Amino acid sequence: MKKTIRITLILALLAAAGVGVYFWAPWKTKEGPALKVEAIKVDKGTIAARVTATGTVAPRNAVQVGAQVSGRLGAVLADWNDEVKAGQVIARLEPESYEAQVAQAKANLEVARANLAQAEAESREAGRQKKRLDDLGKKGLVSASEVDVAETRLRSARAAINARKAQVAQTEAALAQAELALGYTVIHSPVDGVILQRSVDVGQTVAASLQAPTLFTIAEDLRRMQIDTNVVEGDVGRISANMPATFTVDAFPGRRFEGRVRQVRNAPTTVSGVVTYNAVIDVDNDDLALKPGMTANVTFVTKEISDVVRLPNAALRFRPTPEASRRLKGEAKAEKASGGLLTGLGGPRANNQTTTESDGKRVVWKVEGPGRARPVKVTTGLTDGTYTELGEADGGDIKVGDELVTDVPNAGAP
């Protein structure tokens, strides 16, 4: 009897051991080690929404100085980077031909004035003859026809005076024009500034018959610069006047310059189907570090908030595979340990979470232990491309210091 009980007990123990091995061995061999989880902590900080664009540094006012008359350059008195004052002589054309034109105009004027004097003398003589004939006619000593002829001569002499006066005015205008052209042979700087470009040399002939050729380009003040940027149409609605902007240039790596938007110009520019608008930024250049033509990488801060809970964007982009999702939630172990019994009973199943739900909320995975995490729905706000403002979290709070999964590199490991 005792021997039978002993045998029955031994068999029961062996059966229990077999059941344990049956349930434990599949998980042990198939599940493998816990997932290696990469995560980033939630923190508090500042989020600034930005728009980036490229632009070109330029003087706020650059004047192109040209020649208004044609001729050969006899002297160039300003060079690259020279500082000049308004009215300063910066070049001269050879004046000989224009001086000759002035001399010719003066001679023509003298002739016209002499002709006027002659016409006035003839008019006075015709007046005297007309008076004598009038007196003789009253006495019946001359015929009426002779009196009429004298009247005609007087009127003709007076008309000649008016013609000579017009000729004098005409030659005076020609002289003024010749003197003006002679004055144009001396080229002055119209503003105080710096010579940015000199396009001519001594002895070069300039032709101003069609349009004034550019001899110099003068920047009025290099301490006050502007940046002409190319903002794409999708971002231009977020740019407005007086908005702060920062930029960098390749000449000074690591240095960040500051400016402010003066205006957003309405004229579009289309290149290869891309529409851009010029947002003009005013920049102070007191140390003259910035030079015209430099390429500026501009950042506009469209909105900024501080001291907010920030979610790393890498966590918002994380989307686990079905296998990783089960293992992160611990469902794979329970499923395999039951030999499929939980599935048959409606137990936990794989749920492939996506980063954006149908209700517009995002999904992040909150770390809850070694190799374990659970999905949490969140609403989000402002983003700067690296961090996003946390609004609300469903299914559990997310607070500063919590870790959010960004990757599970060994999710497919056996």
> Which tens digits make up the pLDDT trace of 188-227?
999 999 999 999 999 999 988 777 789 999 999 999 999 9
Residue 400's nearest CA partner among 319, 312, 304 is 312
Name the strand (E) or helix (H) holding 405. Answer: strand 403-407
d(CA 69, CA 184): 6
At 414 the pLDDT is 46
Domain limits, the chain: 30-49+309-407, 61-94+188-220, 95-184, 221-305
Which three-class secondary structure state does DSSP give residue 332?
helix
Q: What's the first-to-final CA gap in the chain, in angstroms?
A: 50
C-alpha distances (whole Å) from 26 to each of 191, 247, 331 are 89, 60, 14
At 197 the pLDDT is 94
Domain 221-305: state its class: mainly beta
HSE-up of 140 (CA within 13 Å, CB side)? 0
At 259 the pLDDT is 96
66 touches 214 (CB < 8 A): yes
d(CA 257, CA 287): 12
At 393 the pLDDT is 73
d(CA 102, CA 97): 9
At 223 the pLDDT is 93
In 19-70, the DSSP E strands lie at 38-41, 43-59, 62-66
**DSSP state at residue 35:** P
In 138-243, the DSSP E strands lie at 186-188, 193-198, 205-206, 214-219, 224-232
Name the strand (E) or helix (H) holding 112. Answer: helix 96-138
At 348 the pLDDT is 36
In 60-191, the DSSP E strands lie at 62-66, 71-76, 83-84, 89-93, 186-188
Instruction: Kindly give the residue spans of alpha helices, DSSP state H, lying in 185-227.
Output: none
* CATH fold label, 61-94+188-220: OB fold (Dihydrolipoamide Acetyltransferase, E2P) (2.40.50)
Q: How, if at all, do strands 38-41 and 257-271 pair?
A: unpaired
At 10 the pLDDT is 57
Burial class of residue 18 (count of CB atoms within 10 Å of its CB; 0-12, 13-18, 19+): exposed
DSSP letters, 140-203, are TSS-HHHHHHHHHHHHHHHHHHHHHHHHHHHHHHHHHHHHHHHHHTEEE-SSSEEEEEE---TT
Q: Which residue has the tokens 């007086």?
A: 242
In which residue ranges of the chain is pLDDT below 50? 1, 18-30, 332, 334-354, 413-414
Q: Whole-prediction pTM value?
A: 0.64
d(CA 308, CA 24): 47
